[in-house]
Structure 1
């Protein structure tokens, strides 16, 4: 089971989001903290990553707010992840899904491949619903589908398929 030190930049962020961490399966273990871990910044010339703090220690996740001027919403790799919470983020469960997404990246799972891998993670009935959903011009980038995909990726990681 992967264990992460999960840092919330402020106590307000921690109090807001910690109750929703139950959405993330117990395969992922967290020690929850308030504060800022040791971070580095990605390529300062790349506008997407300029100002984006990324943890240095392995096994660390950093959740920060808009007081840090970053553009990207999240990044994860090599047992580390960072997630930005914007002023516009109102759905706390969607933010926790963003954390889950990035920790899946951190353990080497292809969290960006939901549509490309649909045939692998969906049941027959879900494929029918997926097609109907798309035929109604509904966006696929919604918590309903992400949750199903992230559960599959987590089970995939537990079984030792892909990732670390």
Structure 2
């Protein structure tokens, strides 16, 4: 089971989000702290990643707010992840899903491939429901589908499978 030191930049972020961490399966273990880990910054010439703090120590996740000027909402690789919480983020479940998404990347899972891999994680009836939903001009990018996909990727990881 992967273990992460989960840093919330502020106590307010921690109090807001820590109670919702149980949405992430217990395959992932967390030691929760307030503060900031040692970070580095990606290519400062790339507007997407300029100012985006990324943890240096392996096994670290950093959740930060808009006081840090960054454009990207999250990044994860090599047992590290960072997640930005914006002023506009009102849905705590969506933020927890963002954390789950990035820690899946951190452990080598293809968290960006929800639509491309639909045949691997959806039943036939779910694929029909998803197609009907999208035919009504509804986005497929909703928590219901993310939970299902991320659960499947977590199961894959528990079996030791990666891309």
**Same fold at TM > 0.5:** yes
With the length of structure 2 as denominator, give the TM-score of the two structures. 0.99
d(CA) in 1 for partners of 2:131, 2:2:
34
| Larger mean Cα displacement after TM superposition, 133-142 or 57-66 | 133-142
Query: Tell me, which stretches of 5 or more residues in structure 1 are unaligned?
Result: none
Aligned to 2:43: 43
How big is each residue's C-alpha offset from its partner over 1:61-92, in whole Å with a ceiling of 9 and x where there is no partner?
A: 00000000000000000000000000000000
Listed as ranges, the matches of 1:1-164 within 5 Å are: 1-162=1-162
Q: SS of 1:30's equivalent?
A: strand
With the length of structure 1 as denominator, give the TM-score of the two structures. 0.98
How big is each residue's C-alpha offset from its partner over 1:37-58, in whole Å with a ceiling of 9 and x where there is no partner?
A: 0000000000000000000000
How big is each residue's C-alpha offset from its partner over 1:80-117, in whole Å with a ceiling of 9 and x where there is no partner?
A: 00000000000001000000000000000000000000
Quote how far apart the aligned CAs of 1:134 are. 1.2
How many residues get paired? Answer: 163
Segments of 4+ moved more than 3 angstroms: none
